[in-house]
Structure 1
Amino acid sequence: MPALHPHLKLLSARIRKLRQRSPWSQENFAVHIGLARSYYSAVERGERNPGAVNLIKIAGGLGIEVGELFPPMASLPELRGKSKTRGTRKSVADAAKAISESELPESGGRGGGEPSGPLVPGLDW
C-alpha cells in the first residue's frame, strides 16, 4: 500500500475523533449514513479519500457543518511556515475568502431560474 498523504491522515483522524464523540459505533454510523462499513472504516483509517458527497453524508450524520470535518489549516504539514505556490498563506486565505463571499450566478449553472430538484439525487439541500 502506498504511503498515506499527511493531509488525508489528519482528515481521517478528525473524522474518527468526531464520530467517537458521538454515540455511534463505526458500523452503525456507516449504515446510518448509507455507506458500506468497509468503505467507511477505510476512510477513518486514511486509506480512502472520500469525495464531496460522502463528506456531506458524514457531516450530516454527525450533525455538523462539512468544514468542521477538516483540520485547521495551520496543522497541515506542508502549509506550516511556507507555501508551495507563489505568494503567502495569507494570499491563499484571501483568495478563499473572496470566493466564499462572491455571489453565484442566479441560474446556479443549470440553465436559468431556480433548480427544479436537488443537485445530487437523494440529498435534499
Structure 2
Amino acid sequence: MKEEPGSAEPDINTRIATRVRALRAESGLSLDALAEKCAVSRSMLSLIERGESSATAVVLEKIATGLGVPLASLFEDASAPLNPLSRREGRTSWRDPQSGYVRCNISPLNYPSPIQIVEVMLPAGAHVAYETGVRDAPFEQQVWVQEGRIELTLGEVTHRLEEGDCLAMQINQSTAFRNRTRKPARYIVVLATDRGRTSRR
C-alpha cells in the first residue's frame, strides 16, 4: 500500500469534498435533507464539502449510507480519465484521523463495474465501528486477511480472522473491525453492488 500521510492528505480531502457534493447533487438532496438522512450535522457536512474538515471513517460511513453508496465511493476521483488499468504508483491512500487505519482504493478509477477492491491497514490496537449498516440497497462484501489478525463483528456475531481467512457478508447491519494484536493487520475488501459504478456512484 502506498502511504503518504503528509503530502497526500490535502488531495484526498479535496477529492472527498468533491465526491460528497456531486453525489448529494445527483441524489437531489439539500444539505439539510442529507444531514437528516445520515445523522451528521449540517455544519459538519458543509465543512466536509468545502474540504475544511478531516472527517473520521465513522462520519464518512454515515454520509455514504445517507447517499446510498459504499464508503469506498467517497474516495473516487470522478474527474480522472476512464482507464481499465490501476497502477500502484497512481493510487492515493487515506488515513482515518481517529483510529489511524489506512485505506486505499485498488480498482481502476471510474471503471463501470459492480466490483470494487479496497486495501486496508488496521494499526495495532485499533478499533473502527460503523453503526449505520441498514441501507435501502444492501451490498455484498468479502474481507480477505493478508497479514495479521482481526476481529470483525457483524451485529452481535464476532468472527476472528487470521492470515488467509476470508469472510463473506452482506452490509445490512452494524459492523466493527478490531485489531487486538501488537502488530498491524492488512486486509483486502471486495465489494459488489447491484449496479455498475457509473450508475451507483
Q: Does 1:41 align with 2:46?
A: yes
Alignment of 1:24-63 (within 5 A): 24-63=29-68
Q: CA offset at residue 23 of structure 1?
A: 2.6
TM-score of the two chains, using structure 1 as the length reference: 0.60
Q: Which has the larger radius of gyration?
A: 1
Unaligned 5+ runs, structure 1: 76-87, 116-122
Query: What's the RMSD between the two structures over aligned residues?
Result: 3.6
Residue from 116, 136, 145 that aligns with 1:102: 145
Alpha-carbon contact 2:12-2:75 (below 8 Å) kept: no
Over 3 Å counting, the alpha-carbon distance change for 1:39 and 1:101 in structure 2 is same
Alpha-carbon distance between aligned partners in 2 of 1:18 and 1:109, rounded to the nearest angstrom: 29
Name the aligned partner's letter for residue 145 of structure 2.
S
Name the structure where strand makes up a greater proportion of residues: 2
Name the structure where helix makes up a greater proportion of residues: 1
Corresponding pairs, count: 97
Alpha-carbon distance between aligned partners in 2 of 1:64 and 1:19, rounded to the nearest angstrom: 11
SS at match of 2:37: helix
Alignment of 1:71-90 (within 5 A): 71-72=76-77, 75=80, 89=89
Alpha-carbon distance between aligned partners in 2 of 1:62 and 1:24, rounded to the nearest angstrom: 9
Identity across matched positions, percent: 26
TM-score of the two chains, using structure 2 as the length reference: 0.39
Alpha-carbon distance between aligned partners in 2 of 1:11 and 1:124, rounded to the nearest angstrom: 23
Paired residue for 1:68? Answer: 73
Paired residue for 1:81? Answer: none
